[in-house]
Amino acid sequence: MPDPRTTWKGVFPAVTTQFREDLTVDLDATGRVIEALIADGVSGLVMCGTVGENCALTGPEKAALMELAAGIARGRLPVIAGIAEYTAAFAIETARQAARAGVDGLMVLPPMVYPAKPRETLAHFRAVASAGDLPVMIYNNPPAYRSDVTPAMLASLADVDTIVAVKESSGDTRRFVDLRNLTGGRFIPFCGLDDVVLECAALGAVGWVSGMSNIFPREGEALFGLARAGRFAEAMALYDWFMPLLHLDARPDLVQCIKLCEAIAGRGSERTRPPRLALDGAERAEIEVLMARALATRPVLPGLEPARAA
């Protein structure tokens, strides 16, 4: 298995799950989404994450989506599977399904049953990460999931060899510095919130799990690459153009927003599973205006070496 310290870098879109009209999973359509992202040069894929509607999927559906992505990727780029379950036992079973599906790693969320105490959260991560050999990315998103994995908590997991990376979605970019001061380079730092990505890259993030890069993957890779290269004047021009859409990733209805943008761009369907319902009224009109403006003013991108080829 490739070393994640050399392959987990660049932009990893949190891939959407495509559904048919009857709300069954459409593997063919999801496969086309994956193939288009790979063709556009993304550095990795996250399947069955928040944007992939993990908690609305059955176990067999998750396994099928993981197998699909691994089969299409064929080792050309890393495929990471989201693990968002109510208990450690359920999470371990899903992690084992992911290993059988051939993915390259896991993105593990805190236990989803309730806002766990720190020691409960840590016990969950230890149990899941120790149950197999796949490398693990810890996913911290307290605004969405109400459990906060602080830098000090992460530092206490440094003895778990399979935990190799952290996706930080709190919006507090200081945590990249705090974690580095506590653990040095022990964990691979990933930005997990679109509208602070330049700041995260400037503070040391080497990867970005992105929602809006589903719609604009080339722009996402360019923005992140410029920031990582310290070309901030060029990055700021692209960031200014991208920011109105990047803010959508920080909303509670980010999945509906991202899928509507996908549909407008011709990259997928906006259909979501309940309880998520399609946007309507003023919310829908707002995003249609944002997308029309973004498409009309799409910038010319500078030359950059793709992250996965570097």
Residues with active-site annotation: 139, 167
Contact indicator for 136, 128 with CB cutoff of 8 Å: yes
Concatenated DSSP letters of 257-296: HHHHHHHHTTSS-----TTS----HHHHHHHHHHHHHHHH
Contact indicator for 250, 39 with CB cutoff of 8 Å: no
Q: Which two tokens stand for residue 309?
A: 């080829």
Concatenated DSSP letters of 196-242: GHHHHHHTT--EEEESGGGT-HHHHHHHHHHHHTT-HHHHHHHHHHH
Q: Which residues contact 169 (CB under 8 A, 6 or more apart)?
A: 139, 140, 141, 142, 143, 144, 192, 193
Contact indicator for 217, 260 with CB cutoff of 8 Å: no
Contact indicator for 218, 301 with CB cutoff of 8 Å: yes
In angstroms, how far is the first alpha carbon of the chain from the final one? 18
